[in-house]
A and B are shown apart, each in its own frame.
Chain A
Amino acid sequence: MKSLKKVLYSQKAAPYVFVLPFLLSFMFFWIYPLFSTVKMSFQSILPGQVEWIGLENYQKLLKDRVFHLAIKNSFTYMFWTLVLLIPFPMIYACIMDGKLVKAKGLFKALLYLPALTSVVVAGTMFRLMFAEMETSQMNQIVQWLGFGPIKWLKGKYTGMFALLLVACWRWTGVNMLYYLSGLKNIDNSLYESAEIDGASGFKKFLYIQLPLLKPTTIYVLTISIYAGLAMFLESFMLWNGNASPNNIGLTIVGYLYRRGIEKNQLGYASAVGLVLLAIALFINIIQLIWNGTFKKEER
């Protein structure tokens, strides 16, 4: 007993004791579920009756129109979040970083507030603001601009618009803060020498800030690709459940939830999840190679 205590208290064993919780959690809540979902994706699972069916689930996915629609929706959503939630927050941060803006603390706090609200509260708010009555907030704005009232959550494009508006509302401030912290790391002497050379604000942005913000952009891009492809709850809240008209709000995870939780088809849902994982990893690895992230390690 004493020797065990001695070993546990030794400098060599201590780090392993410290990281033990991670190892346990890694095995039980990461490796195990990951393997079991891979396994299930090759199975047909009914209560008390598990059958190996090889690639059948994946073959069915190839022909599953609803799944293709879900992929298309998730991609469209991801694409537009990248377009809307990277350049604009970057520009906002660059404007805010200079000496021009007053009361910066206030604006930073205000823009961050939406990120604090849960999807439930945000979804409820926007669901009711996008209600189809003439009197709802969005229809009042539209009518004020001279158009007729719109059934927002029933149309393909207007539904996607609602989803994207929620995303922009929630994440613009967060991404701006990421860029602000990236800007903090830029050496002031660079700006000074640019000023001596007579560079304009725009040139400073183009030749100093934009290239030096690349690590931040890669980070934001990576998490946005994941978040965009794995989006589910926003749509779940906007359409009050997982069923939107003609599946206009159905995402890949929404489909996984429908098949796995609502219809209890664990095998098929696992295949959906793994396709999502493959897509997400593929896009991100391409993106990281293209941005030269792996090159640094070789040097």
Chain B
Amino acid sequence: MGKQENSFEIEKKVGMALKTRILSVIATLFFAALGIIVVFPFFVMVIASFRPGKDIIRYGLALQIDFDVMSFKNYKYLFTGNHAYFTWFKNSLVLTLLSVVLTLIVCYFVAYGLSMYKFKLRNFLFFLVIATMMVPFEILMLPLFQEMIDLKLIDTTAGVILPGLVSASTVFFFRQYMMGLPHELLDAGRIDGSTEYGICIKIMLPITKPAFAAMAILSSMGAWNSMLWPLLVYRSASKFTLPIGLNTLLTPYGNNYDLLIAGSCFAVLPIFAIFLAFQSYFIDGMTAGAVKG
């Protein structure tokens, strides 16, 4: 009897292991399929970027690998042709750098005030930060646009950056992060004779670096891709950023599709590179809001 039971047990265990293994293969294949579906449009676009733009307006975008018509012509044109692409690229780069650096500094200070001190209005102010998130930007864009006209900030980079400088979600993330830092450091700094601002910059800023990294990556993605507000504020073509510039190429006549498709591929590259290099920071920054709601 005992022997039989034993072999039955073993059989059950082997069965379980086999079942787990099969399930594991199925689950992995499932995500592989999902991954392929998700990457497929990129693949289609990259293939298309080697085809003449005329083909794309005539046939639409499709996965056609036909080496007879494929060439590096579009990319040659992208890098050597007479067009504004790299002006847009440069404008996007400048706008992204400026807005990310300024936003991070300002939001760090605001969050520092909201997390490191206990003062009367603290909770109320934090509530206001949350409240600003409750109104979608799209509703404020018209009056803000009017305001920019009144302030003579239309067609300036200041006009693009200023309204979004204090970003509620960035403040929220910094605050969340700093609440977990040891507050005793402040008192230690005070005993050493540092001023309040000295403590903030010389003692606390270095230990907030991981939060800076996460937010730098996340907000540079936002700035690099932002379209609606820059589209309203920038008037002169020489100031256009990449998303606005690419949008001007998307005409019904399709005379610019060589540049549009190759340029779109190239526009995605910097952000992909940053993402792959700093993936974990990206995910930290993005999911910060969801954990504590």
Any B CB within 8 A of the CB of A249: no
Q: Is A119 within 8 A of B119, CB to CB?
A: no
Given A173-B38, A232-B138, A270-B142, 17 new contacts (CB under 8 A): A15-B122, A34-B140, A34-B143, A37-B140, A101-B31, A105-B279, A110-B35, A116-B268, A120-B247, A131-B60, A133-B59, A136-B62, A182-B290, A216-B293, A276-B138, A276-B139, A277-B135
Q: Is B139 within 8 A of A22, CB to CB?
A: no
Any B CB within 8 A of the CB of A198: no
Any B CB within 8 A of the CB of A215: yes
Q: How far is the CB of B278 from chain A (nearest CB, A)?
A: 12
Mask, B197-230, CB within 8 Å of A = 1, is: 1001000000000000000000001001101100
Bound together, the chains give a CA A119 to CA B247 distance in angstroms of 10
Any B CB within 8 A of the CB of A17: yes
Any A CB within 8 A of the CB of B15: no
Residues from 94 to 126 in A contacting B, C-beta threshold 8 Å: 95-96, 98-103, 105-114, 116-121, 124-126
Bound together, the chains give a CA A36 to CA B35 distance in angstroms of 46
Q: Nearest 3 CB-CB pairs, A to B? A: A18-B113, A136-B60, A131-B60
Q: Is A15 within 8 A of B117, CB to CB?
A: yes
Bound together, the chains give a CA A178 to CA B242 distance in angstroms of 29
Residues from 259 to 293 in B contacting A, C-beta threshold 8 Å: 260-261, 264, 267-268, 271-272, 275-276, 279, 282-283, 286-287, 289-293
Select the residue from A12, A103, A135 with max chain B CB neighbours within 10 A: A135
Residues from 78 to 117 in B contacting A, C-beta threshold 8 Å: 106, 109-110, 112-114, 116-117
Interface of B is mostly: helix
Q: Is A124 within 8 A of B260, CB to CB?
A: yes
Q: How far is the CB of B211 from chain A (nearest CB, A)?
A: 16
Interfacial residues, chain A to chain B (CB-CB below 8 A): 9-12, 14-19, 21-23, 25-26, 28-30, 32-34, 36-37, 40, 92, 95-96, 98-103, 105-114, 116-121, 124-133, 135-137, 139-140, 169, 172-174, 177-178, 180-182, 185, 215-216, 218-220, 226, 229-230, 232-233, 237, 240, 253, 256, 260-261, 266, 269-270, 273-274, 276-277, 280-281, 284, 293
A136 neighbours in B (Cβ, 8 Å)? 59-62
Interface of A is mostly: helix
In the complex, residue of chain A having the shortest beta-carbon distance to the beta carbon of B171: A22
Q: How many residues of B contact A (CB 8 A)?
A: 94
Bound together, the chains give a CA A295 to CA B285 distance in angstroms of 28
Q: Is A280 within 8 A of B136, CB to CB?
A: yes
A130 neighbours in B (Cβ, 8 Å)? 60
Q: How far is the CB of A246 from chain B (nearest CB, A)?
A: 18
